[in-house]
Amino acid sequence: MEKVKIRAEDFSFYYSGCRCLKSVTMDMRENTVTGIIGPSGCGKTTFLRSLNRMNDVVLGSRAEGRILLDGKNIYDPDVNVVEIRRRVGMVFQKSNPFPKSIFDNVAYGLRINGITDRDFVRERVEKSLSDAALWKEVDDRLHKSAFELSGGQQQRLCIARALAVEPEVLLMDEPASALDPTATAKIEELIRELKRSYTIVIVTHNMQQAARISDYTAFFMLGELIEYDLASKIFTTPSKKLTEDYITGRFG
Amino acid sequence: MNTRKLSEKLGFAMLAACMLIVTLLLAVILFDIASKGAGRISWGFLSEMPRNGMTEGGILPAIVGTFLVTLITAVLAIPLGMGCAIYLNEYATDNQPTRIIRMAIRNLSGVPSIVYGLFGVVLFVQLIHLGTCVLASGLTLGLMTLPWTITASEEALKTVPNSYREGALALGATKWQAIRTNVLPYAVPGMLTGTILGLARAAGETAPILFTGAAFFLPFLPSSPLDQFMALPYHLYVMSTQHHAITLVRPIAYGTALVLVVLVFAMNLAAIILRYRLRMTRSE
- pLDDT tens-digit series, residues A141-162: 999 999 999 988 999 999 999 9
Residue B238 CA to residue B258 CA, distance in Å, equals: 15
Interface A:B, Cβ pairs < 8 A: 62
Given strand A216-221, what is the order of strands in its sheet? A88-91, A169-173, A199-203, A33-37, A216-221, A224-230
Nearest to B59 by CA among B70, B72, B50: B50
CB–CB of A82 and B173 under 8 A?
yes
Report helix, strand or coil for B194: helix
**Which residues in chain A are contacts of B174 at CB distance < 8 A?**
82
Q: From the CA of A246, how many Å to the nearest CA of chain B? A: 31
Average pLDDT over residues B242-248: 84
- The more confident residue out of A2 and B128 is B128
Residue B168 CA to residue B166 CA, distance in Å, equals: 5
- Residues of chain B with pLDDT > 70: what percent? 98
How high is the pLDDT of residue B242? 85
- Residues of chain B with pLDDT > 90: what percent? 61
How high is the pLDDT of residue B79? 94
How high is the pLDDT of residue B282? 59
Measure the N-to-C terminal CA separation of chain B; round to a whole number of Å: 47
How high is the pLDDT of residue B91? 92
Number of H helices, E strands in chain A: 10, 10
How high is the pLDDT of residue A183? 87
CB–CB of A99 and B186 under 8 A?
yes
Per-residue confidence at B276, pLDDT binned at 50, 70, 90? confident
Report helix, strand or coil for B136: helix
Kindly indicate whether the ipTM for this predicted assembly is greater than 0.95, answering yes or no: no
Residue A84 CA to residue A74 CA, distance in Å, equals: 7
Residue A50 CA to residue A74 CA, distance in Å, equals: 10
CB–CB of A83 and B172 under 8 A?
yes
CB neighbourhood size of A102 (10 A): 28
Q: From the CA of A82, how many Å to the nearest CA of chain B? A: 5
CB–CB of B168 and A94 under 8 A?
no
Per-residue confidence at B284, pLDDT binned at 50, 70, 90? very low
CB–CB of A112 and B163 under 8 A?
no
- Residues of B near A (CB-CB distance < 8 A)? 93-94, 161, 163-164, 166-174, 177, 181-182, 186, 282, 284
**Which residues in chain B are contacts of A54 at CB distance < 8 A?**
166, 169-170
- Residues of chain A with pLDDT > 70: what percent? 99
Q: Hey, what amino acid is at A53?
A: R
- Residue among A101, A112, A154 with most chain B CBs within 10 A, to mutate: A112
Least confident of A106-110, A165-169, A211-215, B266-270: B266-270
pLDDT > 80? residue B273: yes
Query: Which of A54, A59, A99 faces B170 most closely, judged by CB atoms?
Result: A54
- The more confident residue out of A216 and B37 is A216
Q: Write b or e for each residue in A153-169: b if 16 or more Cβ atoms lie within 10 A of its Cβ, otherwise e.
A: bbbbbbbbbbbbbbbbb
Q: From the CA of A232, how many Å to the nearest CA of chain B? A: 31
Average pLDDT over residues B79-107: 93
pLDDT > 70? residue B281: no
How high is the pLDDT of residue A252? 67
How high is the pLDDT of residue B175? 93
Least confident of A164-168, B51-55, B229-233: B51-55
Using CA atoms, how far residue A10 sits from A13, A16, A57, A199, A201, in Å, is: 10, 20, 21, 21, 18
How high is the pLDDT of residue B219? 85
Average pLDDT over residues A75-94: 93
How high is the pLDDT of residue A43? 87
pLDDT > 70? residue B283: no
Average pLDDT over residues B1-29: 93
- pLDDT tens-digit series, residues A19-75: 889 999 999 999 999 999 998 877 899 999 999 999 998 888 899 999 999 999 999
